[in-house]
Amino acid sequence: FGSSCTVQVPPCRVGLVVSWHVRGSMVQSGVQPLDLEGCLNQLCDTVSKQISFTLLCIRAQIKSPDDFEHAHRVITTLLEAVEDAKALTKKPALLTCSDVLPNLVLDSLGAEPPETPCVSGVLNPNWLFRLMWDMFVMCLVLADSVILPLQLAWPSGGVTTFDTGWLWFTTSCFVTDMCLTFVTAYSVQDKGVLVTSKFRIATFYLSGWFPLDLLSILPWGMLTQFMGGSTAGTLGRSTRMVKFARFARLLRMARLAKLAAMWERLEDFVGSVLLRQSVLILRPVGLLVMICHWYSCFWWMTGDPEGTIGALVSGDHWTEMPQTTGPPWLERSPFEQYVFCFYWTLGVMRTMPAEVTPANLFERTSVLVFMFIAFSVFATCISQLTTTYMKINGQNREFEDDMALLKVKLRSRRVDAQLASIVRDFMKYQFGRKRGLYMRDGYAIKNLGHPNIQSVVSFALWGPLLKKLAFCEDCMLSNEMLRSVFEKATSDEDYPSNQVICSAGCVATECIIVMDGELKVHGGELNGPIQIVNEHCLLTEDEVFSDTTVTTKTCVQVLKVRKEALFLSCRRHGLIGDDGKWLTQHKPRARSGSGTSCVGAYV
């Protein structure tokens, strides 16, 4: 070292090195028991090199008492850094909570477990066919909730083939679903892990949905036959038991309580905004239809003198009252009876239809209770429909207003027609791709404001693209190191069509990765879609020039990696030594067939 050499040692550099090596060891081991001897040897080597280098610098600089005082302060700083590192090793809880946990989150985002049929000897609930089976069972429950009230309100004269076949088919499917549930893992919501212990699965199911599922498969008809007997004295009681058995079958509809959980799983699997918006509109409509259907069947059962409920009510019934436009409703066809009951129920939700009126106290009381409930449900459903429609179309209306204002400005300033078309296309791209999807899904999380959350979300979006670079393929970096290195050197930008991304012969200062859209190469030999531009500028700190000119063919969204910021980050994280050379295990290499100069673009 010459006398003119000036070296500044950053405060607590040794402490940073110590914490980095301990943290890196824990990340690479996946929070498994550490190789303490190897970790400490690596730590000692690093500290020894740093101290030796610092002492050489001090020896070269000491020429006066002031220099001696400066050297004393530097040595004191080094000793304090070592003490801080020793104190850090005595507090594993701090390291585990603040440093290791974010790495686990990133690892789970980078490589999700495969959705295999079985996990540790039990079925995987995230398996596609298991999810499809759950959806099939829910469709059966919905169909049964429609067919069963019809069978109770308008029973056939005898047992039909359809009634028997439908009962056995649905019951067998429900029993199969119960058996599969006993051997299907479940997810712990607060921990996000799958429980695969058969004992814990059985305990969880028995204390949860099992009683409800058991009630839906009990053979109520066979139970009533067993309890009723066949003597003349028990004939009346047997008739009542049969009616009770029919009514008890409505317990199968209790499975509808599982519909919300099934829908949440389906939404997580599909992840479609269009699907969610469609369900938000169809759910209130479906609820209104099902309420009308159920009360239509109930209203007919109360009015039928021989029905399940009407037989228990004395006095006249509304179905027996004479009508001005035809025979009494009791004498008409079942289809006409159902259509009228559905129409009358929908009218009761808003007002009182005049076609028929309740004829006894029970009918009046049931209609009174239903009117209170139905009016609230009807108003709530209409409010949900209006709110959902306004929410879905609100952004579209705002965008149409913005486009109209833009067209007025372009026309008043006599802008060229081709340029005006480019501007309009870019605005449509921003609304459809960025505002409609990316900003709503991505920035809703980023608006939490915590820098760690922002970093995790950015890495989840950009990590797969960054790993395609030759820089990342050769450096063998962990997910945490990759995020730390590229965090301050990357940003995404949007470009309209026919814009120059890079020019031939100009210095390449950033690598460009296409996230959405298409680019076009001028004067090159490349054919096909272009994904990465100026990739080789990241492989050396020397000036690298673009070989070709690249422009945007359509509106594009690109991810930019700034060369200067990237190399500065590499130095800060110890990937580049103090002598400006790459560490052997981290040195990036050019792709086969390319030299040290930057190629303008890659296919």
Chain segment 433-457, per-residue pLDDT in tens: 655 444 444 443 344 444 555 666 5
Quick one: pLDDT at residue 286?
A: 87
β-bridge pairing 556-562 and 490-495: antiparallel
448 domain residue, yes or no: no
Question: Which domain, by its residues, includes 163?
Answer: 121-271
Phi, psi at 182, each rounded to 5°: -70, -20
CA 556 to the chain's CA centroid: 25
Rg of the chain on CA atoms, in Å: 37
Residue 98 reports pLDDT greater than 70:
no
Residue 594 Ramachandran class (φ > 0 left, ψ -120 to 50 alpha, else beta)? beta
CA distances from 449 to 439, 446, 453, 485, 486 (A): 15, 6, 8, 21, 20
How far apart CA 3 and CA 67 sit, in angstroms, is 12
Quick one: pLDDT at residue 342?
A: 92
Considering the domain architecture, whether residues 304 and 257 belong to the same structural domain is answered as: no
CB atoms within 10 A of CB 558: 22
CA 280 to the chain's CA centroid: 17
Q: Are 134 and 178 in contact (CB under 8 A)?
A: no
Phi, psi at 301, each rounded to 5°: -65, -30
107 domain residue, yes or no: no
Quick one: pLDDT at residue 524?
A: 62
429 domain residue, yes or no: no
Considering the domain architecture, whether residues 153 and 200 belong to the same structural domain is answered as: yes
Considering the domain architecture, whether residues 59 and 155 belong to the same structural domain is answered as: no
Structure tokens at 490: 């990357």
211 domain residue, yes or no: yes
User: Is the pLDDT higher at 221 or at 156?
Assistant: 156
Phi, psi at 321, each rounded to 5°: -70, 140
53 domain residue, yes or no: yes
Considering the domain architecture, whether residues 172 and 142 belong to the same structural domain is answered as: yes
Considering the domain architecture, whether residues 267 and 125 belong to the same structural domain is answered as: yes
264 domain residue, yes or no: yes
Considering the domain architecture, whether residues 329 and 242 belong to the same structural domain is answered as: no
**Exposed/middle/buried for residue 144 (C-beta within 10 Å: 0-12, 13-18, 19+):** buried
Q: Are 57 and 9 in contact (CB under 8 A)?
A: yes
Quick one: pLDDT at residue 67?
A: 64
Considering the domain architecture, whether residues 247 and 308 belong to the same structural domain is answered as: no
Structure tokens at 150: 């019809």
Quick one: pLDDT at residue 269?
A: 67
Considering the domain architecture, whether residues 210 and 307 belong to the same structural domain is answered as: no
Please list the residues that pair with 520 across neighbouring strands.
551
pLDDT band, very low/low/confident/very high, at 308 (cuts 50, 70, 90): confident
Considering the domain architecture, whether residues 263 and 309 belong to the same structural domain is answered as: no
Closest to 532 in 3D by CA, of 523, 78, 546, 217: 546
At which of 414, 434, 455 does a domain end? Answer: 414
Averaged pLDDT, 84-103? 46
Closest to 435 in 3D by CA, of 298, 273, 268: 273
CA distances from 47 to 37, 44, 79 (A): 15, 5, 11
Considering the domain architecture, whether residues 498 and 468 belong to the same structural domain is answered as: yes
At which of 72, 101, 130 does a domain end? Answer: 101
Residue 250, C-beta contacts closer than 8 angstroms, at least 6 positions apart? 148, 149, 152
Averaged pLDDT, 178-203? 82
Considering the domain architecture, whether residues 266 and 304 belong to the same structural domain is answered as: no
pLDDT band, very low/low/confident/very high, at 484 (cuts 50, 70, 90): confident
Query: Domain holding 572: CATH number?
Result: 2.60.120.10
Quick one: pLDDT at residue 14?
A: 39
Which of 43-52, 56-65, 463-472 bottoms out in mean pLDDT, i.e. has the lowest? 56-65
CA distances from 419 to 122, 307, 424, 430, 555 (A): 61, 74, 9, 17, 13
Q: Are 555 and 496 in contact (CB under 8 A)?
A: yes
Residue 334 reports pLDDT greater than 50:
yes
333 domain residue, yes or no: yes
Please write the tens of the pLDDT for every residue from 532-577: 888 888 888 888 888 888 888 888 888 899 888 888 888 887 777 6
How far apart CA 268 and CA 281 sit, in angstroms, is 19
Which of 11-15, 86-90, 310-314 bottoms out in mean pLDDT, i.e. has the lowest? 11-15
Please list the residues that pair with 522 across neighbouring strands.
549
At which of 414, 440, 456 does a domain end? Answer: 414
pTM for this model (two decimals): 0.52
Considering the domain architecture, whether residues 297 and 361 belong to the same structural domain is answered as: yes
430 domain residue, yes or no: no
Please give the tally of structural domains in the chain. 4
Quick one: pLDDT at residue 338?
A: 92
Q: Are 546 and 534 in contact (CB under 8 A)?
A: yes
Length of the chain: 603
DSSP letters along 380-430, please?
HHHHHHHHHHHHHHHHHHHHHHHHHHHHHHHHHTT--HHHHHHHHHHHHHI
Give the DSSP H/E element, type plus range, for residue 40.
helix 36-61
How far apart CA 6 and CA 3 sit, in angstroms, is 8
